[in-house]
């Protein structure tokens, strides 16, 4: 059965919209305010008009940016048909989408997790564990992507082009699958530590943005690993054995 996602309600922004209230309701928008260098946490009690004035931003242009970029962000990515792609095309897609996202997002999440732990760890000791887990996940995934981009994916592209049998793929693929498993375990640990990525009433906007980012990371990780474990790797191994 195909499930239909609920339509995303349009952003209703005015100059009087309070930044903190907007991010509290839709934490994923935090990254847009970070790009604009607008403080949505401690400075959350300011309106969009005041924030734009303080940052020297043109209000109408900023509202248009938040509405258009925010709608795309909340709608989420359009999924591709990985099974219909060639191996090199799929490897390119993984690098340009999932790897690019992780390289940008994981350092941001790690920095936020450390900031939240430093400021609020006295209230909830789990926040220190969250920061440590996000840091470990960041280091692990950066190393993982480097191995894929420098070793495994070039080999996959070569095999598809040359059509020559080889046994050189099995070892690297086993290693990548083991690292996928490790990343999944760390992500499951984060879900448990954060009560399923749900903020409590005391969570500040940075904490809420962190949790929203972790939930988004988990979703992307599932898509990412599926494309590799269930599509790219089996097809590459079959081609290498032909």
Domain ranges for the chain, please list them. 19-75, 82-241
Distance CA 217, CA 202 (A): 23
Question: What integer pLDDT is reported at residue 2 of this predicted model?
Answer: 37
* Integer angstrom CA distances of residue 85 from 72, 94, 145: 25, 11, 20
pTM over 0.95: no
Distance CA 62, CA 52 (A): 8
Distances (CA, A) of 59 to 54, 62, 119: 11, 5, 32
10-residue averages of pLDDT along the chain (242 residues): 46 84 77 82 82 92 86 70 91 96 96 96 94 97 97 96 91 95 94 93 92 92 90 93 84
| DSSP conformation class of 204 | -
CA–CA dist 8, 29 (Å, integer): 13
**Three-state SS sequence of 99-128:** HHHHHHHHHHHHHHHHHHHHHHCCCCCHHH
Question: What pLDDT does residue 147 have?
Answer: 97
What three-state secondary structure class fits 56?
A: coil
Across the strands, what pairs with 18? Answer: 47
Q: How far apart are CA 26 and CA 207, in angstroms?
A: 12
């Amino acid at each position: 059965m195909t499930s239909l996602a609920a339509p995303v309600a349009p952003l209703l922004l005015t100059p009087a919209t309070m930044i903190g209230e907007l991010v509290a309701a839709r934490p994923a928008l935090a990254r847009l305010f970070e790009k604009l260098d607008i403080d949505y946490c401690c400075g959350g009690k300011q309106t969009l008009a005041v924030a734009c004035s303080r940052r020297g931003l043109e209000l109408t242009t900023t509202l248009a940016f938040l509405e258009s970029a925010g709608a795309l962000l909340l709608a989420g990515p359009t999924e591709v048909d990985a099974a219909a792609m060639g191996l090199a095309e799929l490897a390119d897609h993984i690098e340009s989408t999932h790897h690019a996202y992780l390289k940008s997002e994981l350092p941001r999440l790690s920095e936020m997790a450390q900031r939240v732990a430093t400021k609020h760890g006295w209230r909830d000791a789990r926040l220190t564990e969250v920061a440590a887990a996000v840091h470990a996940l960041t280091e692990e995934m950066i190393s993982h992507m480097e191995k894929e981009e420098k070793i495994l994916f070039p080999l996959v592209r070569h095999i598809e082009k040359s059509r020559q049998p080889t046994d050189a793929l099995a070892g690297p693929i086993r290693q990548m699958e083991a690292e996928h498993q490790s990343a999944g375990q760390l992500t499951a640990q984060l879900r448990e530590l954060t009560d399923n990525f749900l903020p409590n009433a005391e969570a500040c906007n940075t904490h809420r943005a962190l949790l929203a980012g972790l939930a988004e990371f988990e979703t992307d990780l599932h898509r990412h690993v599926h494309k590799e474990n269930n599509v790219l790797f089996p097809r590459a191994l079959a081609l290498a054995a032909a």
